[in-house]
Amino acid sequence: MIGQLVNKPLQAVETVVVRYGAFAESISIAELKNVAKTGEFPDSFKSYTGKLSKEQRDLIVGALRAKIPINVAAMSNLLNTQIGSTILEDLATVIQREDDAGAKALRESLILAASEKDGFSLLSSITAYPGQRLEINLSQAFRVFKSLNTAFWQTQQFMSAIAPQLASREPELSLPLDATQTGSSEVEEINLNLQDDKRDRTLPLDIYWSNTASVEKPVIVFSHGMGSVRNELRYLASHLASYGFVVAALEHPGSNEANTHAAIAGKTRLLKPQEFLERPQDISFVIDELVHINQTADNPLQGKLATDKVMVVGYSFGGGTALSIAGARLQPESLRKRCQGNLAILSFGQGLQCIGQELPEKNYQLRDKRVKSIVALNPTSSLMFGETGLESVEVPTLVLASSADKTNPALTEQIIGFGKIPSPKWLVGIVGATHLSVKDPSAIVSQKGKPNTPLTGGEVIGEKAADIRKFVKAIVLAFAAQLSPEADKYKVFLTADYAQIASTKNFPFRLVTEIPPDAAKAIETVISEQ
């Protein structure tokens, strides 16, 4: 199939017409190649480039020279996803055509360019564009080129490399049930406000449960992301509870939505460094309180809570919290070295982690032995645990990474760190998903009007992300079941084959337990550039 997509065009572009406002100038492919080689524009073009700033001229040269690490298979897979279609539409706005075939022609040129032995580049995609003449809107091109994030493309290459090596047919799996569907138990909810007098923290807590809850199944504790709320994964909590699990979703008062509003009003800091320590302690306190509830007469949960067998599910900053309570060691000294002088180039998630450098210089161990497994959804991890902190994780760990996550980029925040976590472990990759894709739609602040930039916007949420949330429900349920007598029944959902058959056109799912050697090359490239 891929081979059919990389046939040379009948006509290759010979001339590029560049428009910038009211000005237009032609430049040959040979001249463009010379610009990439020398950094100098032809004399006939200098009157045109004289109207551009030095930054704009440098951007053109840099874009022409850049080699983006993505092969033809990864490019084809990416363009077949929902996020890939969005990228294609965005890129197509750069090309001025009188017909509607711009996106189709661009798709062909991108796939063909990705097949070049020297690697994909802007210049190779221009050369591969069908037709003798290509007209580019330079103003629009400047906006788009700034979003060509190398780490993003490296992530796409990696996601392609971890695809299961299956035959052309779908694998034949015998599934014991449809784990995406709601269980048979009716879910109830208990709302509490827990007071930790020792630390002067009030912890709102929602408990999801059903009458089939028992000590044979683990208690599950949810930890939310930065500036969020305890119900951000409500759909997942209800799903797990419908299968007899008890889910306790807490709210961290130092990093929740209310704290963010207070910070905006100038009443507090957006995040205090102590919060890196408080969050895991919040979870331990909640487990302590659940122990009391389990022993309280007339409480509907009495005798139903396996508080010595806990699974923690954390999202984003909560994913980092889950890793901490599983044994990962915070390393402020290493964090300080990585953060100093580099804030301008860091992602939002890395900038958040850099606040932790204000902690006293020591290796922090926040492990709670009652936690027996964790799920980290789009976690922060690249800086806060240093080079070796993740090696201390002591429990089975499932990490989820989204290929189009701008807040916590998959390759740097999840994939590199995954290699350091001891087995048993699972890495789930979702091609086309963004940072907010796994969140409950009711807990997402409106994205209307938010610009789609290299750092923000472009989120795949709501109904568009329904397939993603279905898959998350299945794999988290299966992972929780590994701490129950039904472990064997659910193992099939934690396989590459299941990820394959669960994949949709817009969202291919990937699952591995170790980083394949071919995919490790993408990791090595990023590490060498840090």
Domain ranges of the chain: 2-148, 188-529
- List, for residues 76-112, the tens digit of each pLDDT value: 877 877 767 777 877 788 887 766 667 788 888 888 8
- Please check the confidence at residue 525 and state whether its pLDDT lies above 70: no
The span from the CA of 93 to the CA of 251, in Å, is: 43
Specify the pLDDT at position 15: 83
DSSP 300-316: TTTT--EEEEEEEEEET
Quick check: 1 pLDDT over 70? Answer: no
According to the model, what pLDDT value does residue 100 have?
66
Res 164: pLDDT? 59
> Residue 195 corresponds to which amino acid?
Q
Residue 123: pLDDT band with limits 50, 70, 90: confident
Torsion from C-alpha of 367, 373, 377, 380, nearest 10 degrees: 20
**What's the pLDDT at 205?**
98
Q: Which carries the bigger pLDDT value, residue 400 or residue 340?
A: 400
CA proximity to 17, closest of 32, 27, 8:
27
Q: Which residue has the higher pLDDT, 82 or 14?
A: 14
Average pLDDT of the residues in 17-31: 83
Split at pLDDT 50, 70, 90, the class of 75 is confident
Q: What is the pLDDT of residue 527?
A: 65
The 10s digit of each residue's pLDDT in 148-164 is: 556 666 777 777 777 65
Of 95-104, 429-438, 510-519, the poorest mean pLDDT is in 95-104
Q: What is the pLDDT of residue 68?
A: 72
Higher pLDDT, 318 or 100: 318
For residue 17, what pLDDT is reported? Answer: 86
Q: Which residues pair with 51 in a beta bridge?
A: none
Average model confidence (pLDDT) across the chain: 87
Q: How far is CA 196 from CA 43, 206, 253, 368, in A?
A: 73, 16, 11, 17
pLDDT of residue 522: 64
Confidence at residue 169, expressed as pLDDT on a 0 to 100 scale:
55
User: pTM of the entire structure?
Assistant: 0.82
CA nearest 409: which of 316, 329, 324, 335? 316
- Rounded to whole angstroms, the Cα distance separating 358 from 355 reads 6
Is it the case that residue 188 has pLDDT exceeding 70? yes
State the pLDDT at residue 2.
42
Percent of the chain topping pLDDT 90: 53
Average confidence (pLDDT) over 468-497: 97
Confidence category of residue 452, pLDDT binned at 50, 70, 90: low
Torsion, CA 415, CA 417, CA 422, CA 425, rounded to 10: -30
Question: 316 pLDDT exceeds 80?
Answer: yes
Q: Does 11 or 157 have the greater pLDDT score? A: 157
Give the C-alpha separation, 516 to 131, whole Å: 40
Candidates 325, 431, 322; CA nearest to 379 is 322
335 or 169, higher pLDDT: 335
What pLDDT is stored for residue 311 in this prediction? 98
Q: Which pLDDT tens digit goes with each residue over 253-289?
A: 999 999 999 999 999 999 999 999 999 999 999 999 9
Say if CB 74 and CB 114 are below 8 A apart: yes
Which stretch of DSSP H or E encloses residue 34?
helix 29-38
Q: Where residue 10 falls among pLDDT bands split at 50, 70, 90?
A: very low
pLDDT value of position 149: 56
| Topology given in CATH for the domain delimited by 188-529 | Rossmann fold (3.40.50)
Alpha helices in 389-465 (DSSP H): 410, 416-418
> d(Cα 158, Cα 413) in Å, to the nearest integer?
13
Q: pLDDT confidence of 471, banded at 50, 70, 90? A: very high
Confidence band, pLDDT 50/70/90 cuts, at residue 69: low
Residue 41 vs residues 45, 209, 284, 464: alpha-carbon distances, Å = 6, 68, 63, 44
Q: What percent of the chain has pLDDT over 70?
A: 88
